[in-house]
């Protein structure tokens, strides 16, 4: 019975004009569902926006908490290291007979300065001492009676442990900064001092400025140490226009009046490891600002929906009038496909021959488009494979730099320390450490020429330490305009290593290596020269042939070949190595790089 009813209804609709069919279909299929959905969405949108805003604030606070934990991690590690640093103990507790001996001790102890240079989070490191023979130098400061009476200093000396406080820094114009404060005991001498590591306010400020809502970091005494609104930094949270004090509030979400407006406040606590106190992260947003935006969006959505209905009605009416020309529409669609437009979809409907032809036409276009997409994907995958192979090849060549001289240098340092005491050891070890760190951090990134030259300087100082100043000396000449130009890492150092290891191998004294960097038209010119034994004509010809030979295995040529191949791959064929050498006259190596660091055609 029902089947017969639907069959009769279908037959009856076949007699209705297509224009009327489209209008009725629009009302039943589009207008009614959209009206129901629009009413429902408008009623629930306001609460949904509030919930999302609260969740976003909570997520933002958790992210800020994680970022702050990362920032304070390095000061914690530095303070832990200094707590058991024998060199710091010796500097602070040594009885210095003269001013010169104090200055010499400060010059040799560079840990505070190195920490400030190496870590962006560290703004300053200072130590308060009681040794009467020491001098103030902005890193070591005398604990005067006035300083000892200050509450934060007195608290630090009375109890061990780490505290995070907002204290003045006399080395920075008595400005206040968030600082790690810790008492350092020296049991061997029965003395102690106070270590203060200041967090860089720019790091905290940059983090706060990225937040969407008003966010603040507060220390235990209620002082705001960082905030999205920089004008609040240094103020006490209890002095701000909340209708109830926030200092000391536990973690959670609260509703307060902030600046006379109902607001939601989210509070999170952060207590770093081994710390006696911590920090509070507070984020605030006004409820009216969120709800007002939701109301405006709801009204805007209603207006857009009404306009869309009107436009759709007009379009349906026009379409119903033009549908009688279905054959012309299909003909136009066929012409578009013939012209190469495969995004065409025929809109001719019905179950007659024209309707069936329209659907077959759509299937054909989809099949052709799918085949073309498959071909395009195949070509893209092939190009990506070639690019990855090229990158792997470049990384393999960069990884062939021979590190054996590092171990030889370490052995020389150990032997010299054994025979002559500990003179020069700290300088050499520091340089060697910088080189090791630079090699470990080598990746796809580029570095400034000044950084590469610093690695070269460290290497030459180490070799000079090994062989003695009478056997090796060097000169590094870099124009200031070239210092910031970037190039691939480990390009100059392998060439200098070849000059020392192979060029000066049999030179007993007077060995000299020079590195010169200067501008040459639109390029930067790098030249490495030594006064070693040089290379005969036959071997020079072999070296020039091996520069383009990827199978070459001779160790002396591998370094030159790697540098040559990397320069060509990155900058082009005209940017490879140029080598000139005469027996007994030394060796001269030069190459250019474009100042823009881009590949030339």
Q: Three-state secondary structure along 373-427? A: HHHHHHHHHHHHHHHHHHHHHHHHHHCCCCCHHHHHHHHHHHHHHHHHCCCCHHH
CA-CA distance, 563 to 492, in Å (whole number)?
Answer: 8
Domain boundaries, position 348: 342-395
Residue 434 CA to residue 453 CA, distance in Å, equals: 12
Mean pLDDT of the chain: 79
11 domain-assigned: no
More confident residue, 95 or 26: 95
104 in the same domain as 23: yes
Residue 356 and residue 469 share a domain = no
The three state secondary structure string of 483-547 is: CCCEECCCCHHHHHHHHHHHHCCCCCCCEEEEEEEEEECCEEEEEEEECCCCCCHHHHHHHHHHC
Same-domain check for residues 150 and 215: yes
Asked whether residue 551 is assigned to any structural domain, the reply reads: yes
What was the pLDDT predicted at 400? 45
The answer to whether position 405 is within a domain reads no
User: Phi and psi for 57 in degrees, rounded to 5?
Assistant: -60, -45
Contact 270, 279 (CB under 8 A): yes
Is 346 in the same domain as 297?
A: no
In a domain, 109, yes or no: yes
For the chain, the C-alpha Rg in angstroms (whole number) is 37
As a whole-number percent, the residues of the chain with pLDDT over 90 amount to 27
The pLDDT value recorded for residue 562 is 84
* pLDDT tens per residue across span 41-80: 666 766 677 677 778 888 888 889 899 999 999 999 999 9
**CA–CA dist 474, 314 (Å, integer):** 84
Q: Is there a domain that residue 336 lies in?
A: no
C-alpha 212/C-alpha 209 separation (Å) is 8
Burial 486-503 (b: 16+ CB within 10 A, else e): bbbbbbbbbbbbbbbbbb
| 8 A C-beta contact, residue 532 and residue 505 | yes
Asked if residue 147 and residue 71 are part of one domain, the reply reads yes
Whether residues 226 and 88 fall in one domain:
yes
Q: Is 406 inside any structural domain?
A: no
Structure tokens at 37: 């959905």
| 256 DSSP β-pair partners | 263
pLDDT one-digit tens code per residue, 460-484: 888 888 788 788 889 999 999 999 9
Distances (CA, A) of 130 to 82, 86, 147, 244: 17, 17, 12, 44
Write the CA distances from 584 to 324, 495, 496, 499, integer angstroms: 96, 19, 18, 14
Residue 244 has a pLDDT of 58
Classify residue 76: in a domain, yes or no: yes
Is residue 401 a part of any domain in this protein?
no
Q: Do 281 and 375 share a domain, yes or no?
A: no
- What are the tens digits of pLDDT across the range 503-559? 777 777 888 999 999 999 889 999 999 888 888 888 888 888 877 765 555 555 567
CB–CB of 215/283 below 8 Å?
yes
Say which range, 307-316, 401-410, 439-448, 582-591, has the weakest mean pLDDT.
Answer: 401-410
For residues 100 and 57, membership in a common domain is answered with: yes
Is residue 445 domain-shared with residue 540, that is, in the same domain?
yes
Residue-level pLDDT at 132: 92
> Could you give phi then psi for residue 203, rounded to 5 degrees?
-65, -45
Are 238 and 352 part of one and the same domain? no
Q: Which among 178-187, 355-364, 575-584 has the top mean pLDDT?
A: 178-187
User: Which residues does residue 594 pair with via DSSP β-bridges, in sequence order?
Assistant: 523
Across the strands, what pairs with 111?
Answer: none
- The answer, as to whether pTM is greater than 0.75, is no
Counted domains in the chain: 3
* Mean pLDDT across 5-27: 66
Closest alpha carbon to 569 in 552, 545, 547, 541: 547
| pLDDT (0 to 100) of residue 247 | 61
| Closest to 178 in 3D by CA, of 60, 71, 267, 62 | 71
Q: Which has the higher per-residue pLDDT, 321 or 385? A: 321
- Domain of residue 564, CATH code: 3.30.565.10
Q: Which ranges of 323-351 does DSSP label H, i.e. alpha helix?
A: 326-338
Q: Cα separation of 269 and 193, whole Å?
A: 29
E runs forming strands in 252-354: 252-258, 261-270, 279-286
Tokens of 121: 């989070």
In this prediction, residues 413-422 reach a mean pLDDT of: 65
Structure token digits, residue 82? 């200094």
Q: How far apart are CA 43 and CA 298, in angstroms?
A: 9
At 389 the pLDDT is 47
pLDDT higher at 332 or 389: 332
Q: Is 459 found in the same domain as 543? A: yes
Cβ atoms of 591 and 577 closer than 8 Å: yes
| Residue 563 near residue 491, CB atoms below 8 Å | yes
Note whether 445 and 496 are same-domain residues.
Answer: yes
- Is 547:535 a contact under the CB 8 Å cutoff? no
Picking from 111, 130, 79, the residue whose alpha carbon sits closest to that of residue 276 is 79
What integer pLDDT is reported at residue 46 of this predicted model?
63
Q: Does residue 492 register a pLDDT over 50?
A: yes
CA distance 88 to 264: 48
């Amino acid at each position: 019975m029902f089947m017969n009813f639907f069959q009769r209804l279908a037959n009856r609709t076949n007699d209705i004009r297509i224009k009327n069919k489209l209008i009725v279909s629009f009302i039943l299929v589009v207008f009614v569902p959209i009206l129901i959905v629009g009413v429902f969405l408008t009623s629930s949108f306001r609460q949904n926006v509030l919930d999302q805003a609260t969740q976003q604030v909570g997520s933002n606070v958790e992210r800020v908490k994680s970022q702050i934990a990362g920032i304070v991690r390095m000061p914690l590690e530095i303070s832990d290291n200094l707590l058991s640093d024998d060199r710091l103990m010796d500097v602070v507790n040594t009885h210095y007979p003269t001013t010169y001996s104090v200055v010499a001790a400060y010059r040799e102890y560079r840990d505070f300065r190195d920490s400030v240079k190496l870590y962006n989070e560290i703004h300053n490191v200072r130590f308060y001492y009681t040794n009467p023979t020491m001098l103030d130098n902005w890193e070591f400061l005398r604990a005067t009676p006035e300083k000892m009476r200050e509450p934060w200093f007195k608290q630090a000396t009375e109890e061990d442990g780490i505290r995070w406080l907002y204290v003045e820094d006399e080395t920075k114009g008595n400005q206040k900064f968030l600082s790690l404060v810790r008492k350092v005991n020296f049991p061997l001498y029965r003395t102690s001092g106070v270590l203060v590591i200041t967090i860089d306010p720019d790091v905290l400020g940059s983090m706060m400025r990225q937040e969407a809502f008003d966010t603040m970091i507060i220390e235990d005494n209620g002082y705001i140490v960082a905030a999205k609104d920089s004008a609040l930094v240094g103020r006490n949270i209890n002095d701000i226009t909340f209708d109830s004090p926030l200092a000391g509030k536990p973690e959670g979400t609260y509703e307060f009046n902030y600046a006379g407006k109902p607001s939601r406040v989210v509070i999170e606590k952060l207590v770093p490891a081994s710390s006696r106190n911590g920090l509070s992260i507070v984020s605030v947003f006004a409820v009216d600002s969120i709800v007002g935006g939701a109301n405006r969006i709801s009204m805007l959505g209603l207006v857009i929906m009404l306009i869309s209905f009107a436009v759709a009605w007009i379009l349906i009416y026009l379409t119903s009038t033009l549908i009688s020309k279905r054959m012309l529409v299909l003909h136009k669609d066929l012409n578009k496909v013939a012209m190469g437009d495969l995004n065409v979809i025929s809109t001719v409907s019905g179950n007659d021959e024209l309707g069936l032809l329209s659907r077959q036409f759509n299937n054909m276009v989809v099949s052709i488009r799918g085949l073309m997409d498959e071909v395009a994907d195949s070509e893209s995958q092939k190009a990506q494979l070639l690019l990855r192979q090229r990158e792997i090849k470049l990384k393999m060549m960069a990884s062939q730099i021979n590190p054996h001289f590092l171990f030889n240098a370490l052995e020389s340092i150990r032997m010299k320390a054994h025979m002559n005491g500990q003179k020069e050891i700290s300088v050499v070890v520091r340089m060697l450490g910088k080189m090791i760190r630079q090699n470990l951090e080598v990746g796809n990134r580029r570095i400034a020429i000044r950084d590469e030259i610093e690695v070269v300087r460290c290497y030459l100082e180490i070799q000079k330490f090994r062989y003695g100043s009478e056997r090796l000396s060097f000169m590094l000449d870099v124009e200031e305009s070239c210092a910031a130009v970037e190039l691939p890492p480990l390009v100059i150092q392998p060439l200098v290593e070849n000059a020392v290891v192979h060029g000066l191998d049999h030179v007993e004294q007077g060995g000299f290596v020079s590195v010169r960097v200067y501008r040459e038209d639109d390029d930067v010119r790098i030249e490495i020269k030594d006064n070693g034994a040089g290379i005969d004509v036959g071997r020079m010809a072999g070296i020039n042939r091996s520069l383009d030979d990827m199978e070459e295995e001779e160790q002396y040529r591998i370094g030159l070949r790697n540098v040559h191949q990397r320069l060509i791959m990155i900058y082009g064929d005209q940017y490879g190595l140029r080598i000139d050498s005469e027996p007994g006259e030394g060796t001269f190596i030069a190459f250019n790089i474009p100042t823009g660091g881009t590949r030339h055609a």
